[in-house]
Each structure stands twice: as structure tokens, then as C-alpha cells.
Structure 1
């Protein structure tokens, strides 16, 4: 059985091989697609690694930042600051967000 620390994080791997560690609770709470992969009987649930062959590293990095941002501000009752998105990556982020259902 894996130790608790290993299960606390999930590794996300981009198309170009960049790896990002993310708190499992954040990943599950922020993305329906990731939640289904990690809670189902998929290989990703066993390996605790999710590969995204169609998402570039610089896009996946922004997605990870956004998922943490979303979790951090999900219970806020005050005005949530804008999450800045550079115009040159906006379309790719939109496609990734649609796929990840976040």
C-alpha cells in the first residue's frame, strides 16, 4: 500500500513531459474529469499519475495555478480578484478547461 504522503498528491504530466505535483484534494475538488480519473477504476487511480498528451506544459502549468486559485477562493464571501490570463494562451486554456471540466 502507498504511504499517505504519496496519496496526498497527484502527478500531472503534460504532452511535452513537464510534471506538476498537485494536492489530490485540490485536483478532485476542482476538476470533474480529474476526479473521475482518480476515483474510478482507471489506471490513473492506481498510478496516481495523469498524462495529458494534448496539453502543453505551459498550458498545464496555468491550469494547475488556476485550480489552486479556484480552491483558495471557493469559500470567499468577498470580491474574488481576477485570475489573469494572457491573451496568447487564452484559447488553449479554454480548450483545456473545457476538457477538464473545471
Structure 2
């Protein structure tokens, strides 16, 4: 299992498995590119650590429940901190998730 390190603009690092990262089309393109991001570390200067932490949580949540049938499994709601709503909306658009 490949681990990719996401780095926030305030230099906080989050280690995430590659199969979780590729849920985001933007991050997938970065990881699969011939550029520096392919080295296993992606610096996301657009996001501070609280926003990136929620993004990482969401990517893990999405990966965990993506193949589940909601009629057979009780999938919990993903909670979004109200104070980060706008920033997360912009992040989701940028990351295509």
C-alpha cells in the first residue's frame, strides 16, 4: 500500500493511502503525473490544517463506504463543521470530490 503525504499551507502533514487519495480526481492527476507530486508528497498551499484534516477524514469516509448499499448498511452521516463550510465547499470544488 502506497502512502501519500498531504501537506497543508501551515506545514502539517497527513499520511493517506494512495487508494484513498485517488477519490479526488485532482489529487489522482497529481499523483499520476511525472512532476514532483509523484514523489509521494503533495503540498496543498490552498488549505490550512483544519480544512485539510476534514478533507482527509472525508476521503477516508468516502473510501470506507463507497461500495456499501445504503439499504443494507447503516451509513453514518458525515459531519461538517459549520465554521468551515465555505472553505470546504471551495476545497471540494478544487479537488473535484
Which TM-score applies when normalising by structure 1? 0.87
Query: How far apart are the structure 1 equivalents of 2:79 and 2:92?
Result: 15
Which protein is richer in helix relative to its size?
A: 1
State the number of aligned residues. Answer: 94
Provide structure 2 residue ranges, at least 5 long, that are not aligned to the other structure: none
* CA–CA distance in structure 2, aligned partners of residues 33 and 92 of structure 1: 17
Moved over 4 A (4+): none
Instruction: Report the counterpart of residue 87 of structure 1 in structure 2.
Output: 82
Match of 1:13 among 4, 7, 12: 7
Distance in 2 (alpha carbons) for counterparts of 1:31 and 1:17: 21
Q: Does 1:49 align with 2:41?
A: yes
Cα drift, residue 56 of structure 1:
0.5
Q: Which residue of 1 aligns with 2:95?
A: 100
Q: Alignment RMSD, CA only?
A: 1.1
Q: TM-score, normalised by structure 2?
A: 0.92
Instruction: Measure, in 1, the Cα distance between the counterparts of 2:67 and 2:46.
Output: 32
CA apart distance, 1:86: 1.3
Q: Which runs of 5+ in 1 are unaligned?
A: none
Shift of 1:25: 1.1
Residue number in structure 2 paired with 1:72: 64
